Amino acid sequence: MFNRQNTSPANNQNLLVIVILAVTGSFGALSIDALVPALPEIAREFQTTTLQTQWTISSFLLGFGLGQMLIGPLADRFGRRPTLLWGIALYTITSLCCILVDSIELLTAMRFLQAVGAAAGAVITRAVVRDVYTSDKAAKALSVMLSITLLTPFIAPIIGGLAVTYFHWTLSLWIMAACGTLCLLANGHHLVESLPPDQRHSLHILHIISVYKDIIRSPVFLRHCLTYSFCFAGLFIYIANAAFIIVNTMGYGPESVGYLFAGTSLGASLGAYLSRLLLNRNPVHIVQRLGILSFIIGCICVLILALLETHNIYLFGFSMVFCTIGMGISWPSCTSRAMAPFKKSAGSASALLGGLQFILASVTSLLAARFIQQDFLIMAVAMMICAVMVVIVFYGLRPLADDQAD
């Protein structure tokens, strides 16, 4: 799979596997962003409330988080390849099941299971990179993967918006099932096991708890995991509520939601590209701080727009681009630095990292939805609270200096 004597991402063999893993790791973004423009339409079709409809997002986030914490130990015990293939199969089947449901409750349940399958791609993508690369090279490899992966949240909301406007919102689910099928075939053919048998862990529950306990007690892990988790929570407050605010409060159409999300996703892709350039010339911790600063500036801009009652989708999108550029810059650094101490349990560290991010995002977005109720100002305040928490966690959880250069 990877050439261990030449672990440059530019190596053709390595790049092919990175592309396949990046596409597989994009299931989460595809499954969320393609359905976001359809949320108002889903609410009308199932004759349900805004809050119940937002559960289809929150349940996916929860399933994606818990799924990663389940799949991590499985990947450390049985290997990366078989765990990934079973996860892709589950994702594909549940995507088809989402098309057949006849109630919002069943859709919410299927979305939870769909997320568990999608979680395999997220966990094993990071674990495979950590299997082969050192911390600095892992950050660069993750930047390459993120640049590819973030094409999905650029394209998916446009497809979702056009599907709602000209076809039916379930078209997005058909596309998810098709992507799952293609990735199952591609990984089955190209992906080779990266975890040697002598490095695999027991699947006993006490051992799993012990591994997770060791990881979560690490100040280095907590600092970088929670830093990005609160960025992530702020983003998903926006994702879960923006469609209703744009359509019902600002008066734009569902296709506008798709274009807005595509634009903000382009910011994340730009951030990932900038991260790769910056990491070639600067230490990881400097790049990480630049990303955090950009995210905070974006949240401040959104809050100013809300305070001024400026319901302009272009200014809103421009402000959100600052947030997503910052997240694109900081994600590779936060991920590689959080996982740096856990070479022998990269799967579990990856699972806990992703799991905590999505569980926090799920809980935060659901709690915020109860108060936001299509109110732009309350959404902006909730995002700003997340930005403040980023600063508190990043500078309050020691050690810094800077994590002993990883």
Each residue of 4-63: pLDDT tens digit? Answer: 444 444 455 567 777 888 888 888 888 888 888 888 888 888 888 777 887 888 888 888
The SS3 call for residue 358 is helix
pLDDT tens per residue, range 248-271: 777 777 778 778 877 887 888 788
Is residue 56 within 8 A of residue 101, CB to CB? The reply is no
Q: How far apart are CA 22 and CA 360, in angstroms?
A: 23
pLDDT tops 80 at residue 138: no
- What fold is seen in the domain 16-195+203-397? Growth Hormone; Chain: A; (1.20.1250)
Q: According to the model, what pLDDT value does residue 97 have?
A: 92
pLDDT tens per residue, range 139-172: 666 767 776 777 787 788 888 888 888 888 888 8
CA dihedral 70, 71, 72, 76 (to 10 degrees): 120
Report the mean per-residue pLDDT for the chain: 80
Q: Which range, 211-220, 311-320, 363-372, 384-393, is most confident? A: 384-393
Phi, psi of 250 (to 5 degrees): -85, -20
The SS3 call for residue 363 is helix
**Local confidence band at 338 (pLDDT 50, 70, 90 cut-offs):** confident
Mean pLDDT, rounded, for 289-300 = 91
Mean pLDDT, rounded, for 368-372 = 70
Residue whose entry in the numeric block shows the structure tokens 């959080």: 338
Q: How far apart are CA 291 and CA 117, in angstroms?
A: 30
| DSSP element (H, E) containing 190 | helix 171-190
Question: How far is CA 169 from each of CA 36, 43, 156, 164, rounded to the nearest angstrom?
Answer: 10, 12, 12, 5
Q: According to the model, what pLDDT value does residue 353 have?
A: 81
Does the pTM of the predicted model rise above 0.85?
no
